[in-house]
Amino acid sequence: MGAANNTPLTLASPLPFGAGPSSPNRVMKSAMSEALGTSDHNPDERLVRLYRRWAEGGAGLLVTGNVMIDRCALGEPGNVVLEDDRALDAFVAWAAAVHAANATTVLWMQINHPGKQSPSVVSKVPVAPSAVPLTGSIAKAFNPPRALEDAEIEGLVARFAASAALAERAGFHGVQIHAAHGYLVSQFLSPHHNRREDRWGGSAENRRRFLLEIYRAIRSRTGPGFSVAVKLNSADFQRGGFTEEESLQVVSELGEAGIDLIEISGGTYEKPAMTGSQRPSTVAREAYFLDFAAKARAATSAPLAVTGGFRSAAAMQEALSSGATDLIGLARPLALYPDLPQSLLNDPEFKVTLPAPSSGNKKLDAALMLDVTWYEHQLARMGAGDEPDPSAGVWGTVWGLVRTGGAAVFRKRRA
């Protein structure tokens, strides 16, 4: 999707989203779970401060960290949940802070259900399409799931739509369905995780039914100017998992159904490709999933975003000019440099280098998901009104985890 009237496409070009508000530029803040919910799982002044900061930073589109659709199914203890209107005022204040800080910023809420990726510290028996447990080094942190009943699946579709309708009432411009990274929708798409033989599984068409039903249910409960987007894996990178071929079919169907944006990522807790490069060729171009995006571009005319690995204005410009993507998704860079979009828009040579936080012990790093946790700690700093600290050591993060979660964090950390 090029810029209007054939002017050259740059990071500063606006991007329309159907009947919803257009992004004023091509920089998107991708979802980062802030884990800043109150004990009742509502937003408070910490999220207001953080998002005000990002709105001032100039990204055209802000997507919130995942907001859960069911308080009985959390991805981590500090999740925000939106399932009814008992605390809608807190969500109104969150959205209003963004609108007041920057009237042109587009604000979408990412909505999610973790399925089996709900750690044992928060879920005794998580739910999933089928009773297939997680495997690998992270498996110990999660209880084996049970398979959902048909009526429960219908109920979850309705919950996604209810959360979206509430987000619209609260003043968000749209929602993004989290269908990536191994959470519930992604579990339905995967032949490894979805072994059902009813209308929700078996064929590829049946496995994508959950996502498409959620999409349609949201459209039926929200207005025409409310944007609906999806974050989708290019692949799960797991034997027997969701493949590129199937992902392209999903892209094509979502496009036909009228989706406003498809954000491309990849990986799951079992194979965390979303925060790491796939192969050496991606290092030069920075973005991990650009090759797939080029194929997705051939499969749909819906707007596309690619997230994962972008660090320089030059690589972002090249990705836009190639036509493979319409938006540049950024996560970790904005946890450290909230004003980065302004710098990228003003200087085509601008780039950032990010630290790779490590305790020096790879096993400990993996057990604590130290990379993600260290960045989450930066979000908490901004939420408290402090500046992010790129030179922060990792031991402060570890100590913070122990203080809040006790020794259990060494076993039960969210991935």
Distance of closest approach, residue 133 Cβ to ligand FMN, in angstroms: 22
Site for ligand FMN contains 46 (CB under 6 A): no
Only one residue has tokens 């096993």, namely 363
3-state secondary structure (DSSP) of residue 262: strand
Site for ligand FMN contains 307 (CB under 6 A): yes
What is the rounded (10 degree) CA torsion for 136, 181, 99, 92?
-70
Complex with ligand FMN: residue 196 or 352, whichever CB lies closer? 352
User: How distant, in Å, are the alpha carbons of 36, 141, 364, 383 from that of 393?
Assistant: 21, 25, 15, 19
CA 79 to chain centre: 13
CA 298 to chain centre: 23
Site for ligand FMN contains 73 (CB under 6 A): no
Instruction: Kindly tell me which residue out of 260, 375, 382, 383 binds ligand FMN, with binding defined by CB under 6 A.
Output: 375
Residues 211-250 that bind ligand FMN (CB under 6 A): 231
CA angle, 276 then 305 then 232, to 5°: 65
Tokens of 272: 């965390």
Mark the segment that binds ligand FMN (CB under 6 A) among 101-109, 150-158, 220-228, 326-334: 326-334
Residues 129-148 that bind ligand FMN (CB under 6 A): none
3-state secondary structure (DSSP) of residue 264: strand
Q: From CA 223, how far away is CA 201, in angstroms rounded?
A: 30
Distance of closest approach, residue 111 Cβ to ligand FMN, in angstroms: 10
Site for ligand FMN contains 317 (CB under 6 A): no
Site for ligand FMN contains 331 (CB under 6 A): yes
Instruction: Kindly tell me which residue out of 24, 119, 308, 338 binds ligand FMN, with binding defined by CB under 6 A.
Output: 308
Complex with ligand FMN: residue 241 or 266, whichever CB lies closer? 266
Using CB under 6 A as the binding criterion, the count of chain residues that bind ligand FMN stands at 25
Label each residue of 267-312 as H, E or C. CCCCCCHHHCCCCHHHHHHCCCCHHHHHHHHHHCCCCEEEECCCCE
Distance of closest approach, residue 372 Cβ to ligand FMN, in angstroms: 4
Contact 251, 262 (CB under 8 A): yes
| Dihedral (CA of 270, 182, 25, 292) sign | positive
Tokens of 233: 């894996």
Mark the segment that binds ligand FMN (CB under 6 A) among 76-84, 292-300, 305-313, 387-395: 305-313
Complex with ligand FMN: residue 78 or 309, whichever CB lies closer? 309
Site for ligand FMN contains 29 (CB under 6 A): no
Complex with ligand FMN: residue 60 or 309, whichever CB lies closer? 309
Q: From CA 386, how far away is CA 14, in angstroms rounded?
A: 31
Task: By CB under 6 A, name the binding residues for ligand FMN.
Answer: 30-33, 65-66, 110, 178, 180-181, 231, 265, 274-275, 307-310, 330-333, 372, 375-376
